[in-house]
Amino acid sequence: MPTLSVTPAHADTAISGLMAEGGASGDLEPLLQRFLVSIVDLAGAQAGAVRVLTDDGLHMRLVAQQGLPANVQNAERLVDRDCGMCGVAAGADVLGWVEDVRSCARSGPEPYFGEQCKGVLAIPLSHANQVLGIYNLFFEARTQLEPTTLTILRLIGQLLGLALHNARIERERLRVTVMKERQEMVNEVHDAIAQTLAYARMRLPLLNDAMLAHDDPKSIKYFSDVKQAVGEVHDNLREVMTYFRTRMDPLGLLHALQGIADGFFGRTGIVLEIRNTVQNLNLSDEQEVQVFHIVQESLANIAKHSMARHAAIAIGKTPECLEFVIEDDGLGMGAPSVSTIVTTAKGLSGTAHFGLEIMQSRARRLGGRLEVGENAGGGTRVRLVLPLTSGSAERTP
């Protein structure tokens, strides 16, 4: 019975390759496939396979193989968790050496197990005392591996287990992110659209009654209410779709705000000025996205409700905080045509009121606060205050 050993040089090369590729690759299964080639080669095996436990923990799924015949691949694509020595390795977190391959032959093609393959080694892929899968080495002759080689192969199994663990964490993080974005979309639709639609639905029976009674003044009034509500829903739906379709300008928040300012007058007839005294905002990508949408919503309210001629975005920094002030010279919050705070008849809150709630939610998510009030010289003033961390304060220019 030949004795095979893995040299430290071979092991260092293999482990270094795994660590380097594991840090650079975002797709685990191709990584496992590439690395399996090195494992099979350094162990002197005929073939190899990597199996990962399914989410329910009842089966092992073949995710990578090297050197297995096609009929064996098909038979081994999904096996029970407790199948033979592989099940022992997965259940007890131990290396399992199979010299009598008749148990494998019962679940796979007879000509391979027992003829081409004389022995199978099952090595658990484990992390933090949890087995996440196994990898197999198939030998064409009865083989005895050196204890040092077995230790190295076990270490490789732990590294592969770490890679599987990290992949699971990434999948869970992605799932949570998707669920969070879905909830944000639900909140946006509910706050900006659902209640306006409810108001329009309440107005339709009144419109119907007025039409049947041939009461033209009331018919015109209720028709105007429904038409305005549908228009607001249309505008808000476009805003929600734009928010979830677009991403932050790759050149950053300041560039994105300047892009809005450049086209603001052409879209609204309002001159928009940006006054920035901060050289480096030191905000993360997520913070920049939230600030951008707060400023964007403030400018949307100015365009729709203020009847202003001038507006400004002022960006400043103190030792304690970073602040964004959006102000205009329009009608102000007390004017009847401004729906940021005012609640109209019959319980209808203007869309800017919902927009303000969303802005406040974004500010809280940033750990900051949002202040909305009158401008000293008339118009409306929105102030977003973000506390500076100690690291940010140290980087203040």
Do residues 133 and 271 share a domain?
no
In a domain, 204, yes or no: no
Please report, to the nearest 10 degrees, the dihedral formed by the alpha carbons of residues 340, 342, 344, 350 taken in order.
Answer: 10
- The whole-number pLDDT of residue 232 equals 82
Q: With contact defined as beta carbons under 8 Å apart, do 252 and 289 qualify?
A: no
Burial pattern 90-118, b for ≥16 Cβ within 10 A else e, equals beebbbbbbeebebbbeebbeebbeeebb
**Do residue 131 and residue 275 come from a single domain?**
no
Q: Residue 223 belongs to what H/E stretch?
A: helix 216-245
196 and 351 Cβ atoms separated by less than 8 Å = yes
Same domain, 12 and 161: yes
Q: Which of 157, 172, 187 is the last residue of a domain?
A: 172
Residue 206 covered by a domain: no
What is the span of the domain harbouring residue 153? 3-172
Q: How far is CA 385 from CA 56, 321, 356, 395, in A?
A: 47, 6, 15, 18
- 100 part of a folded domain: yes
CA distances in angstroms from 271 to 4, 276, 302, 340, 376, listed in the order given: 79, 16, 11, 21, 19
**pLDDT tens digits along 309-320:** 999 999 999 888
49 and 165 share one domain: yes
Q: Which of 364, 355, 362 is nearest to 192 (CA)?
A: 355
What pLDDT is stored for residue 156 in this prediction? 86
Note whether 255 and 164 are same-domain residues. no
Give the residues of the chain that fall short of pLDDT 50: 1-8, 11, 19-26, 336-351, 390-397
Q: Of 121, 138, 172, which residue is a domain's last?
A: 172
Q: Round to whole Å and give the CA distance between 196 and 204.
A: 13
Tens-digit pLDDT profile for residues 231-275 = 888 877 776 666 555 555 667 889 889 988 988 888 788 999 999
State the Cα–Cα distance between residues 113 and 71, nearest whole angstrom: 12
pLDDT at 396: 40
32 lies in some domain = yes
Q: How many residues does the chain have?
A: 397
Percent of the chain as helix, strand, coil, to the nearest 5: 55, 20, 25
User: Which CATH number fits the domain that encloses residue 72?
Assistant: 3.30.450.40
- Give CA–CA dist 80/53, Å, rounded: 9
Q: In which element (H, E) is residue 370 found?
A: strand 369-374
- Residue 333, in any domain of the structure: yes
- Amino acid identity, position 49: A
Shared domain check, 375 and 254: yes
Q: Are residues 27 and 146 in the same domain?
A: yes
Considering the domain boundaries, does residue 290 fall inside one? Answer: yes
Q: Tell me which residue of 320, 311, 315, 321 sits closest to 277, measured CA to CA.
A: 315
Q: What are the structure tokens assigned to 157, written together?
A: 């199994």
Do 152 and 40 belong together in one domain? yes
Tokens 């998510």, residue located? 365
- Which CATH number do you get for residue 346? 3.30.565.10
Is residue 7 located within the same domain as residue 147?
Answer: yes
Residue 218 lies in a domain: no
Residues 6+ apart with CB under 8 A from 280: 395, 397
Angle between helices 216-245 and 351-365 (to 10 degrees): 30
Give the pLDDT score at 32: 82
Both tokens of residue 164?
Answer: 């599987």
Report if residue 239 sits inside a domain. no
pTM, 2 dp: 0.46
Q: Distances from the Cα of 389 to the Cαs of 23, 289, 366, in angstroms?
A: 30, 18, 12
DSSP, res 321? E
Beta pairing partners, 50: 64, 135
Chosen domain end from 172, 187, 215: 172
Q: Residue type at 179?
A: M
Per-residue confidence (pLDDT) for residue 188, from 0 to 100: 66
Structural domains in the chain (count)? 2
Angle at 218 between CA 212 and CA 224, to 5 degrees: 110
Nearest-angstrom CA–CA distance, 88 and 76: 17
Residues 157 and 296 grouped into a single domain:
no
Cβ proximity of 44 and 189 under 8 Å: no
267 in the same domain as 166: no
Do 75 and 161 reside in the same domain of the chain? yes
